[in-house]
């Protein structure tokens, strides 16, 4: 149960700080969005 709470908190924190601290996954998805828009 403690692990689940930790995961929920960490994912919430990631969403809060998304703009300041983009993860590699978010950077990749942003690149994909740009590629799609460029076509």
What is the percent of the chain with per-residue pLDDT over 90, rounded to a whole number? 0
What is the percent of the chain with per-residue pLDDT over 70, rounded to a whole number? 13
Question: Taking residues 15-35, what's their average pLDDT?
Answer: 59
Contact between residue 12 and residue 21 where contact means Cβ atoms under 8 Å apart: no
Residues spanned by the domain of 28: 1-37
pLDDT above 60 (res 19): no
- pLDDT bin (cut points 50, 70, 90) of residue 2 is confident
Contact between residue 14 and residue 23 where contact means Cβ atoms under 8 Å apart: yes
Rg (CA), the chain: 14
- How many distinct structural domains can be found in the chain? 1
Model pTM?
A: 0.27
Give the tokens for residue 18: 């998304």
Torsion of CA 2, 16, 20, 31, to 10 degrees: 90
Contact between residue 22 and residue 14 where contact means Cβ atoms under 8 Å apart: no
């Amino acid at each position: 149960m403690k692990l689940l709470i930790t995961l929920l908190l960490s994912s919430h924190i990631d969403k809060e700080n998304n703009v300041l601290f983009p993860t590699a996954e978010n950077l990749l998805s942003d690149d994909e969005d740009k590629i799609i828009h460029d076509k």
